[in-house]
Structure 1
């Protein structure tokens, strides 16, 4: 005879009906037991296969039905069969267990010392040359390690580091925060980039104060290079007059080439026609490049290996 759905709800200690999150925590430890019993339709056989005492398994099934308020099994001696409610529940349980197994396989694969994954963030200006060269050098000794690569500006990468989306990031300036570890790796000189037909284009060197009357094109607020630009101009005794703000250094070079302003930028991966790049003699124009990670966050073997590799490149991170 088919068992009827029980009318009482499972109550929390406070007397309120369990919410879905609480019910999930309550049921989760018993789901694999339920799937095993449902598969064998025999409590003793399921207990033997799962290597748990039969009494433990029987009590778990009774408690599962009590917590749900629904009969999942029709019992005939030592054998059991699923009720319609049990068959419905089993389909969802099998999908949930398969998803858990898939997730377990994924995190184990990502942590594998040989074939694991590193989630690595870096500045846009590092993407065309620096990062590819670093990964190529690292994979000489770790040829099967995989990378999830994220290009972004500094503040956005730090937030992704804090949220756990990134393991490591190359950024500038080197962050100084109690929840982060930052290590300086190298320094990159900045140049004043001017149009090829600009009044200063015949010069090789310049004091930044000489560009006080120029219109600047810069990265948007929030970018480390924008903060450095504003600070260098302040040190030179002026506040830059900004005509355009962008998100990538090469876009700014294009704006300079079009005669729309001047810019303080790191060296390009490939020289761009239409611009001249001047060495800034005063104030000292450079930015620190460093690696950052979340303090106290455990590293998987591939992340630890890549972190060690980056730290070994101190002073030799950037191309000549």
Structure 2
């Protein structure tokens, strides 16, 4: 037997005890039969028997009682099986985590998105992704631009569909489309007959808006800096669909991106802003540069490029 320095000797596992043999043990414990365990694992009953015997040799204790040609697990086998389940679960999680650190993921992709993209853009991309990578499960996480950027950097999402932020040298960015911002008012308001809105004339208006952290909120505040006054914001909300309902209910006016126009209630009117207030949002796919070799992200990137080409 080889000698190992330091603590290595205390953690050394006999070479007869392998992950494959632990899997065979669990299959046998589940089925209670050599032939059924072999069918479950796609091997032979002889191979299952040899693996179980090798585990006994490695552990230097009996795991089964022989009654004729049948094997019956002992309490020792039950104890090993309990440990084996945890060991294999931990190893599977470790493999997944290691692949993610190395820039590869396996059977799922977590996509972060703005609420305003969940009506059309996200479903179209998810369906295209499903066709390209049918074995990959998609998880959707909705949030503000600030939330999604933090989740991206924390590893809570793999990619984010959001407004392109500044100062993000750590991110790969693929633009999807550019969106204009409009003045949104209740239908029949005093703005209804106007061709465009001069925000400077809205100093006495009530406004509703998204909370800080949303890309639309940033544009909202920037527009009123140009107008030269601080808007009277009577309410803030955490998603763009609630914001539309507040406008529809007559609580106040707001600024909204054109992409939500198709789902806007008929009680809300979109009016272009005067040229000096013209604002545009660049919406794109974002992911960490360290993940640029991830096959799932490369597939999503291809899907986004195709969608942009089709839209063009």
With structure 2 as the length reference, what TM-score do the two structures score? 0.69
Q: For residue 309 of structure 1, report the CA deviation from its aligned partner.
A: 2.3
Query: Does residue 306 of structure 1 match 2:289?
Result: no
Aligned partner of 1:42 in structure 2 is none
Q: Is the 8 A contact 2:185 2:268 kept in 1?
A: yes
Bigger mean CA deviation after superposition, 198-207 or 307-316: 307-316
- In structure 2, how many angstroms separate the alpha carbons of the residues matched to 1:170 and 1:159? 13
Aligned partner of 1:247 in structure 2 is 238
Q: Aligned match of 2:284 in 287, 290, 293?
A: 290
Aligned partner of 1:220 in structure 2 is 211
Structure 1 residues 240 and 196: CA distance shift in structure 2, 3 A = same
Structure 1 residues 93 and 137: CA distance shift in structure 2, 3 A = closer
Q: For residue 308 of structure 1, report the CA deviation from its aligned partner.
A: 2.3
- In structure 2, how many angstroms separate the alpha carbons of the residues matched to 1:217 and 1:275? 13
Q: Is the 8 A contact 1:186 1:315 kept in 2?
A: no
Corresponding residue SS for 1:253:
helix
Query: Does residue 98 of structure 1 match 2:91?
Result: no
Q: For residue 224 of structure 1, report the CA deviation from its aligned partner.
A: 1.6
Aligned partner of 2:13 in structure 1 is 30
Count of aligned pairs: 262
Bigger mean CA deviation after superposition, 139-148 or 167-176: 139-148
- In structure 1, how many angstroms separate the alpha carbons of the residues matched to 2:61 and 2:133? 56
Aligned partner of 1:151 in structure 2 is 142
- In structure 2, how many angstroms separate the alpha carbons of the residues matched to 1:232 and 1:31? 69
Query: Does residue 130 of structure 1 match 2:121?
Result: yes
Q: Is the 8 A contact 1:119 1:148 kept in 2?
A: yes
- In structure 2, how many angstroms separate the alpha carbons of the residues matched to 1:141 and 1:213? 52
Q: Is the 8 A contact 1:123 1:154 kept in 2?
A: yes
Corresponding residue SS for 1:170:
strand
CA RMSD of aligned residues (A): 4.0
Q: For residue 216 of structure 1, report the CA deviation from its aligned partner.
A: 1.0
Q: Is the 8 A contact 1:174 1:291 kept in 2?
A: no
* Greater helix share, structure number: 2
Gaps of 5+ in 2: 26-46, 63-73
Query: Does residue 270 of structure 1 match 2:270?
Result: no
Q: For residue 261 of structure 1, report the CA deviation from its aligned partner.
A: 0.7
Q: For residue 265 of structure 1, report the CA deviation from its aligned partner.
A: 0.6
Q: Is the 8 A contact 1:219 1:247 kept in 2?
A: yes
- In structure 2, how many angstroms separate the alpha carbons of the residues matched to 1:88 and 1:49? 16
With structure 1 as the length reference, what TM-score do the two structures score? 0.68
- In structure 1, how many angstroms separate the alpha carbons of the residues matched to 2:217 and 2:233? 11
Q: Is the 8 A contact 1:188 1:288 kept in 2?
A: yes
